[in-house]
Amino acid sequence: MDEGNITRGGEYDGRGDYHAELDPNWPYYPVYVEKMKRVRVYLDRQLPEEKFLDAGCGEGVLVKEYQMRGYEIVGVDLNYDSEYVRQGSILALEYPDATFDHVLCLDVLEHLGYDDQARAIAEFDRVLKPGGKLLVSLPNLAHLASRLSFAVLGKLIRTSTPDRHPGDRPIAEYLSIIKPHFRVRRRVGLFPTFPIISVLTKSIPAKVLGLHKLYNRCLGYPNWCFLNLVFCEKRRSN
């Protein structure tokens, strides 16, 4: 990403633009690649003249890409400021009510505490127009490998360390804070954490893209997947 006038904070201060400059040895690499592919399919089906917000967008990978394609899209992130990203909190978005047709919130809510997750969902509701769409990606603490570990060892397998994901929770709990504001139209599961693919993903992430594609297609039951893409529509009256 072009440096320009960029201000980095939080994890970007130490890790740099790691979403824009993907490391094929990153254990999350195959999940991230598949997630971004699905998000791009979603965006490509929308009208570019509609208004889009990428909330918690990091370096603004999608914002830059789709602005260059003529989309009316803006990005907000607490720890990043650049030509494409406006620094700010998703808990207090500096936009009027009913501004956007679409909000994206990708791998963000788990970085917030439980109370702040509900506040963020309420903010998305506020800035979306009636009938507006929310696409949120959420890691699922109750993924299959975590359930197996709990059954055998009495220990859940967290989706990241507690300092990075203080709001880690099962997918059903995320849905419980979304549903008062939004109708869940569809869920897509990515990375069913069967033991073999879990080990391979951790050890050789760049080499299992094809295997991930097969598993996601055949075994991607959302409740046992590591990641859920949740496609929502704002309720016209709450």
2, pLDDT greater than 80: no
> Confidence class of residue 4 from pLDDT cuts 50, 70 and 90?
low
Instruction: Tell me how far apart the alpha carbons of residues 92 and 213 are, in angstroms, rounded to a whole number.
Output: 37
Mean per-residue pLDDT, 102-122: 98
How high is the mean pLDDT of the chain? 96
For the beta carbon of residue 149, count every other beta carbon within 10 angstroms: 15
Mean per-residue pLDDT, 170-191: 98
Residue-level pLDDT at 3: 55
Kindly give the pairing relationship between strand 225-234 and strand 182-192.
antiparallel
Mean per-residue pLDDT, 19-32: 96
Residue-level pLDDT at 161: 95
Report yes or no: 34 and 212 within 8 Å, Cβ to Cβ: yes
Residue-level pLDDT at 236: 75
How would you class 47 by CB atoms within 10 Å of its CB: exposed for 0-12, middle for 13-18, buried for 19 or more?
Answer: exposed
> Confidence class of residue 112 from pLDDT cuts 50, 70 and 90?
very high
Residue-level pLDDT at 5: 87
> Confidence class of residue 166 from pLDDT cuts 50, 70 and 90?
very high
Mean per-residue pLDDT, 55-75: 98
Over residues 188-229, the pLDDT tens digits come to: 999 999 999 999 999 999 999 999 999 999 999 999 999 999
> Confidence class of residue 67 from pLDDT cuts 50, 70 and 90?
very high
Q: Give me the residue label for tokens 């400059």.
A: 21
Domain ranges of the chain: 7-232
Task: Give buried/exposed letters for 4-27 (b at 16+ CB in 10 A, else e).
Answer: eebebeeebeeeebebeebeeeee
> Confidence class of residue 237 from pLDDT cuts 50, 70 and 90?
low
Residue-level pLDDT at 17: 95
Fold of 7-232: Rossmann fold (3.40.50)
